[in-house]
Chains A and B, each alone.
Chain A
């Protein structure tokens, strides 16, 4: 990052400083580091929230900047989680199996250990063989590489097919959602090799760190998530700051015109799609060890729609907006659905937030889209005195994802 791009994006420094302060504060208030004011489970919730911010950031890059409403990014998120989950589960089961076999007289052969692991992991789906996709599960570096490679390759192939045929707008959204649904349905099958609807579990136990308590592990993962978010934010800001940012915003507003400037629009879309898929996968790989469990329900189409809602409520086309949206909605959501919100007694009816939260969320999405399209991030424009241009209702370009009048800044 050059000094020029930093001075043009003061939000990067503000964001990184805020994130650093927040990380320090949570660390000192956690159970691990002393004060104990924040429970270990809440540290995990905060860490997971940071991962969700990272995926929201990716969503803002692809939707807010490049105008592609992808409803498939949670597939990449979950795939990233599965890839790290395979190693976590394999390595931890290996420890258990080796311990169990140590009691026998003869030292166990590698084959015995492998069979033991396979029947431990796959007994639940009635199998005892390790599927071929688990070939590298014993190696952490290999699975870490797969965290990036598997979702990245899927995005590359899928994106190439979709963008090459010039599918845009709502049809592309449907296509991405179909991809996600197909993948989820495939993984639900027991013979898909990833334990069907049981998914992978026990991911909160880190092999080799058995001596470390969950209180410290949660803080470690919190730090890692914060670091990933910070790096992701800086990367995204760098990507959108220069001419590349100009080109992808131009593609969002009027892709036909960009072609006549000589830019290969499809290649740009593919680049952004794949880049954001990789960022998303990394977020997933950090999220699921904190969640402890992953199953195919995680990539249900609704999850990707939530993602779009976070970005819309936070304010599309501004990086901090996506992060604010993700924090705000996901924390509020876990408060309402966690049963901690007091019921609202209306006399004739008692509103139980666990049931009503979804409706409140849906309604606020509709209201934000209609009346405050700049979302929560738009409040910063109010403070800075920026208003929307008066364009008599015309969008900023003919593209499907083009900024609407109310979203633009004067």
Chain B
């Protein structure tokens, strides 16, 4: 199985601080991966690089069968290529309704003239309703997103990501601020999603990672420290030293 995303040898320096140091990472087309690491390990910077927000000083980020280099593409081009990102804090368009938020995210031509002419057809409304019920917001379609609770906004954002139909999903701390029941729902959803696409979950919460039951990559000081099952990496003395040992 060839990799969907292949990150090789990227480094990035902020004001002399090496946030990412010769990092390499690979994920298959239908795989769930958890990325853990202490604060400042470079987890968020890693996602910033893959989504085009930050440009690395060196290295390559190849994506898809045709191995297109994501470096040099804009955020919007990368998103259109099939990379979706869920931020740590829920970011939805608060002045617009749940339906409008989802409609905007639906996979379709993103060019301004195509969007200008685009009018929703019954199948689009149906798809939006389906997505809303998948994330438990079926009763809230006409409400403005700004009125939703924190957890509902998280769900709306996940719904928007699903609407985009990305091939690679980067999820930053999905469990933050969620109740136990919501966490279980999120776990099921992520595991389910990873059957058809690649999902990278950045998470602090070890319990949550254990529930995902997937391969784990441990980052430390901008490089991969260990990779394998959670049990495998937690037995690694280096990992214990830098991360778990400090509790």
Residues of A within 8 A of B (CB): 2, 4-5, 239, 242-244, 246-247, 249-250, 253-254, 256-257, 259-265, 267-268, 271, 389, 391, 396-397, 403, 408, 410
Contact = CB atoms under 8 A, between A and B. Distances in A.
In the A-B complex, the 9 residue pairs with the closest CB atoms: A262-B79, A259-B75, A262-B80, A396-B95, A271-B112, A396-B94, A244-B116, A250-B93, A264-B76
A270 to B, nearest CB: 8
B91 A257 contact: yes
Contact of A260 (B79, B94, B96, B120): B79
Given A242-B116, A243-B120, A260-B75, 6 more contacts: A242-B119, A254-B91, A260-B76, A262-B164, A264-B76, A410-B147
A247 B76 CA distance: 13
Contact of B147 (A247, A250, A268, A389): A389
Contacts of B96: 246, 249-250
Q: Name A's interface SS.
A: helix
B115 A247 contact: yes
Among the interface residues B51, B75, B103, which one has the most CB atoms of the partner chain A within 10 A?
Answer: B75
A300 B75 CA distance: 38
B100 interface: yes
B74 interface: yes
Contacts of B100: 246
Nearest to B143: A410
Contacts of A396: 94-95, 146
A370 B78 CA distance: 41
B103 A246 contact: yes
Given A243-B118, A250-B96, A389-B147, A265 B104 contact: no
A267 B76 CA distance: 11
A397 B94 contact: yes
Given A247-B104, A254-B93, A389-B144, A260 B118 contact: no
Contacts of A257: 87, 91, 93
A261 B79 contact: yes
Contacts of B74: 259, 264
A253 B146 CA distance: 12
A244 B108 CA distance: 13
Contacts of A256: 75
A260 B85 contact: yes
A104 B84 CA distance: 79
A397 B111 CA distance: 23
B32 interface: no
B110 A262 contact: yes
Contacts of A244: 112, 115-116, 118
Interface in B207-226: none
B112 A267 contact: yes
Contacts of B105: 261
Contacts of B146: 389, 391, 396, 408
Interface in B48-90: 51, 74-77, 79-80, 84-85, 87
17 contacts: A4-B119, A242-B118, A246-B100, A249-B96, A250-B93, A259-B76, A259-B79, A260-B84, A260-B85, A261-B79, A261-B105, A262-B77, A262-B80, A263-B115, A389-B144, A397-B94, A403-B95
B209 to A, nearest CB: 24
B202 interface: no
A408 B119 contact: no
A4 B147 CA distance: 26
Nearest to A264: B76
A261 B164 contact: yes
B156 interface: no
B160 interface: yes
Given A254-B93, A397-B95, A265 B76 contact: yes
A243 to B, nearest CB: 5
Contact of A263 (B76, B113, B120): B76
A264 B110 contact: yes
A263 B164 CA distance: 11
Given A242-B119, A244-B116, A247-B115, A261 B104 contact: yes
A319 B111 CA distance: 24
Given A259-B75, A408-B95, A2 B119 contact: yes
Nearest to A270: B112
Contacts of B147: 389, 410
A92 B120 CA distance: 52
A268 B93 contact: no
Among the interface residues A261, A391, A397, which one has the most CB atoms of the partner chain B within 10 A?
Answer: A261
A244 B119 CA distance: 10
A259 to B, nearest CB: 4
B103 A243 contact: yes
A253 B112 contact: no
Nearest to A242: B119
Nearest to A403: B95
A295 B111 CA distance: 39
A68 to B, nearest CB: 15
Interface string B89-133: 001011110001001110000111101101110000000000000
Contact of B115 (A243, A249, A397): A243
A283 B95 CA distance: 31
A93 to B, nearest CB: 42
